[in-house]
């Protein structure tokens, strides 16, 4: 997950593009979609020595109001990371470079309580691109078709997804992380209003087209064109 980089972060975090030397194996961990309005979140683990990447998903349902208040997303993230580390045959000689995102708070707590060595990291390069790419693929499968949708997270992507929800609100709210406080306090009402305004606008256009078609149809009978006259004029 891309996050704002501060000077202190550079001094206290490893960068996956240029990590310090390590005699053992390095495993990188990153996320995508945890802060995005729509869709599942994606967790990725990469074995730096082989380039192998394991993806795990966090279902969007875990980000609804009830589950999010119960910290369900973070609990699920811890569960899938432990599963993926097992698949990678993680051992005590491995170094884990863990993204600094707060979605990994329980993971850090677990690592510290169980003496699993990790370092906070600025995840860049291959894993970051792979995880963000997998998230974009997920959004495409949901039906987000905007050509402006990119792997860059942030305010631009937020509004691309928000506008997509507004276009068909009754059928697309189920893809929203409704447990985000701002959704209930502000954005949900705006989405509903935009949906109804758009629907009224489309209805008005359809009525205008139908009205004009009826006028043309009536004129055809009130002022019929003589076939003979039309033929003679055309010759």
Mean per-residue pLDDT over the chain, rounded: 86
Count of residues in the chain: 235
Residue found under tokens 């997998």 = 134
Query: Which helix (H) or strand (E) is 26 found in, with range?
Result: strand 26-32
Compute CA 196 distance to the chain's CA centroid, rounded to the nearest angstrom: 24
Give pLDDT, residue 199: 75
**Among candidates 57, 63, 65, 79, which has minimal Cα distance to 175?**
63
Give pLDDT, residue 149: 96
Give pLDDT, residue 85: 98
Determine contact, residues 122/5, Cβ cutoff 8 Å.
Answer: yes
Give pLDDT, residue 10: 44
Residue 170 corresponds to which tokens in the numbers above? 């009754």
Give me the phi and psi of 119, to 5 degrees please: -135, 140
Q: Give whole-number Cα distances, 183 to 63, 98, 100, 105, 177, in Å.
A: 11, 29, 24, 23, 8
63 within some domain: yes
224 within some domain: no
CA atoms within 13 A on the CB side of 54: 17
Give pLDDT, residue 3: 44
Give pLDDT, residue 89: 97
Q: What is the C-alpha separation between 123 and 188, in angstroms, rounded?
A: 32
How does DSSP classify residue 5?
-
173 within some domain: no
Q: Quote the number of domains for the chain.
A: 1
Determine contact, residues 3/104, Cβ cutoff 8 Å.
Answer: no
Residues of the chain where predicted confidence (pLDDT) is lower than 70: 1-11, 200-235
156 within some domain: no
Q: What angle do the packed helices 155-167 and 188-222 form, to 10 degrees?
A: 50
Residue 7 corresponds to which tokens in the numbers above? 């000077």
206 within some domain: no
**Among candidates 56, 50, 9, 5, which has minimal Cα distance to 27?**
50
204 within some domain: no
Q: What is the C-alpha separation between 42 and 4, in angstroms, rounded?
A: 19
The pTM for the full model equals 0.80
CATH code where residue 47 lies? 3.30.420
Give pLDDT, residue 36: 97
Give pLDDT, residue 62: 96
172 within some domain: no
14 within some domain: yes
**Which domain range does residue 28 map to?**
7-146
């Amino acid at each position: 997950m891309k996050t704002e980089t501060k000077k202190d972060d550079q001094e206290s975090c490893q960068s996956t593009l240029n990590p310090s030397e390590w005699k053992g194996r390095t495993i990188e961990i990153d996320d995508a979609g945890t802060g995005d309005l729509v869709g599942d979140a994606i967790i990725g683990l990469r074995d730096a020595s082989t380039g192998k990447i394991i993806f795990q998903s966090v279902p969007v349902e875990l980000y609804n109001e009830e589950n999010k208040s119960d910290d369900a997303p973070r609990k699920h993230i811890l569960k899938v990371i432990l599963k993926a580390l097992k698949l990678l045959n993680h051992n005590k000689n491995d170094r884990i470079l863990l993204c600094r995102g707060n979605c990994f708070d329980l993971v850090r707590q677990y690592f510290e309580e169980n003496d699993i060595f990790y370092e906070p990291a600025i995840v860049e390069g291959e894993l970051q691109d792979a995880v963000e790419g997998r998230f974009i693929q997920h959004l495409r499968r949901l039906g987000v078709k905007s050509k402006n949708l990119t792997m860059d997270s942030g305010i631009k992507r937020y509004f691309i997804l928000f506008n997509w929800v507004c276009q068909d609100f009754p059928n697309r709210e189920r893809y929203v992380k409704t447990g985000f406080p701002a959704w209930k306090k502000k954005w949900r009402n705006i989405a509903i209003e935009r949906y109804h305004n758009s629907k009224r606008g489309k209805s008005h256009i359809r009525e205008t087209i139908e009205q004009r078609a009826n006028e043309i149809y009536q004129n055809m009978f009130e002022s019929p064109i003589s076939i003979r006259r039309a033929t003679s004029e055309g010759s």
